[in-house]
Chain A
């Protein structure tokens, strides 16, 4: 019971208080690209959630082996990239074999879902703050759902922020960044303190 409670509490904190986009800016470029197409948001979010959760689970065992050794920060990026690569390839192979229709649908953007700052960042944050297996997968799961929430919130404003009503200099990316900044300010209000880098 305690394990489930820890998983849920860490996932909720990661989604709402320490959202990967609004609190840490992780995966902002990927999110800006995903928010343009409303039909792909769910697929994108689910892919990121799946890859970050499974990668976080695997990184727990690797961290237990290496994280306490000196200079681990030097080779951790390589190990995390290999973990994500393994999850990415395994997922694609499974989909190709058992769900070929889904494979065709997501293969266009699944590589961006795997190799982005949100997923890689989740593994680094886990190695710094994570303590138990449930906290690792809670944070991995929360990162993906937080990304999905952020992308959905940004996609709501996307059409209006790209309309002719917005002054030309601000239209598109500039006003989107300001909009994300305002949303980030709202999330920051819940956090109430500076995120440790």
Chain B
């Protein structure tokens, strides 16, 4: 293990935290915004999207890494989306088992994950340029970056719009039902992104 760690440069370790911290998938890079601002209006929806996004994105990008590079990009991008759509099949069957009936609450936002920005854009510009082991860790970092943000957004919106905290009723004196609407999602995400940047800058100082 020590041998392996000594081979990895510290800048490489830092780069592995890009997706989660320094270039957070949603708050810094501005990727995969739609499910966060529209569908993640409750903790349950957010949790469902976390499972679906993690499974579809991870398996698709890892499988895509085996596609020969000599195939032109025009064709490769279609193959990526087709792989995403094929991974979607077992994923929603699994989701139906884990969270029965929950899929209808997020509507089209789960099937849309088959062509999310990490698969369509980031795979080509970042992930598939790396070695397989490093790429796997980097993809996990970007997935975790999305998961943490969507869960926090889901919990906050659930609390202020539905007076629920992780599935339990709570007494909240301030009710903001508009926070569950798409415009509320955009504004809340903007505020989170600003707060996140402020914290990052303070830590850098």
Contacts and interface: CB of A to CB of B under 8 A. Distances in A.
B30 A29 contact: yes
Interface string A91-132: 010000000000000000001100111001100110010000
A26 B34 contact: yes
Interface size class of A (residues with CB under 8 A): 35 or more
Given A81-B82, A177-B187, A181-B186, A24 B115 contact: no
B197 A111 contact: no
Q: Is the interface of B mostly helix, strand, loop or mixed?
A: helix
Contacts of A30: 117
Given A74-B92, A81-B85, A82-B82, A121 B108 contact: yes
Contacts, number: 156
B31 interface: yes
A43 interface: no
A32 B112 contact: no
B189 A177 contact: yes
B34 A173 contact: no
Nearest to B38: A25
B89 A74 contact: yes
B39 A197 contact: yes
A23 interface: yes
Interface in A161-197: 168-170, 173-182, 184-185, 188, 194-197
A56 B117 CA distance: 22
Contacts of B105: 197
A22 interface: yes
Interface in A2-39: 22-30, 32-33
B81 A85 contact: yes
A27 B108 CA distance: 13
Contacts of A185: 183
A156 interface: no
A77 B111 contact: yes
A22 to B, nearest CB: 7
Interface residues of B, number: 53
User: In this complex, which of B89, B181, B184 has the most chain A Cβ atoms within 10 angstroms of its Cβ?
Assistant: B181
Contact of B88 (A77, A82, A194, A196): A77
Contacts of B89: 74-75, 78
A78 B81 CA distance: 8
Interface in B112-164: 112, 114-117, 120-121
Given A115-B120, A169-B194, A174-B194, A124 B112 contact: yes
A42 interface: no
A83 to B, nearest CB: 11
B152 to A, nearest CB: 15
Interface stretch (B8-16, B61-69, B70-78, B166-174): B70-78
A88 interface: yes
A1 B125 CA distance: 48
A76 B77 CA distance: 18
Contacts of A89: 74-75, 78
A117 B194 CA distance: 25
Interface of B: 27-28, 30-34, 37-39, 73-75, 77-78, 81-82, 84-86, 88-89, 92-93, 105-109, 111-112, 114-117, 120-121, 181-187, 189-191, 193-195, 197-198, 201
14 contacts: A26-B112, A29-B33, A74-B89, A112-B121, A115-B81, A117-B112, A174-B193, A176-B190, A177-B33, A177-B193, A181-B183, A188-B181, A196-B107, A197-B108
